Chains A and B, each alone.
Chain A
């Protein structure tokens, strides 16, 4: 049972390069999320998707774009990477709805922008 799968696990980018972080879940969840985690800052929501076909900005969306490709997949794109985007990125999914249920996380992507 894979749960939430993120790729890649590690990435080093040069400033200005672009990349897409992939996320897929096999739990038939409606809601998916992208968070970043920085020391002392906790997990901050970048974007989320309450259901297939919808996306909304979270707390720190600048410099990112997302695509909810289908119910399973939710990708995060950095168009022009900056050193400030060095972070650990987590994708998560949950059943969603008015009363949220447990969120399941991928193993994270450790991104360094030099």
Chain B
């Protein structure tokens, strides 16, 4: 089983739609969780950290379910500019070692 698994997509959604991505992780000792965004041929950049209580940043909501070992990202009112690949990132329980999922591609269309 991969340490971090994501549905690769692509998710094709119309502008204004709500879309959700899930990610599962295998190491129950993991402490830190993140969603990164990567635009085509660019470096990944932090979108948001994921906290146990869940957190929201504008149109983006991230949630963590430790019991089931998955994290989710919800994007409301999708914009064309949200088109990108979203990477789930989990620390492996060993300090300073981050593991990335393969990414979920989102394409928002008119």
Contact = CB atoms under 8 A, between A and B. Distances in A.
Contacts, number: 61
Nearest to B91: A100
Residues of B contacting A: mostly: loop
Interface residues of A, number: 29
Contacts of B87: 42-43
Contacts of A42: 87, 100-103
B102 A41 contact: yes
B32 interface: yes
Given A103-B46, A105-B45, A108-B43, A48 B96 contact: yes
Interface stretch (A19-27, A67-75, A90-98): A90-98
A40 to B, nearest CB: 7
A41 B46 CA distance: 19
B99 A45 contact: yes
- Chain B interface size, as a band, is 20 to 34
B96 A97 contact: yes
B98 interface: yes
Contact of B46 (A31, A44, A48, A102): A102
A35 B8 contact: no
Given A51-B96, A56-B97, A102-B49, 4 more contacts: A96-B96, A98-B31, A99-B32, A102-B34
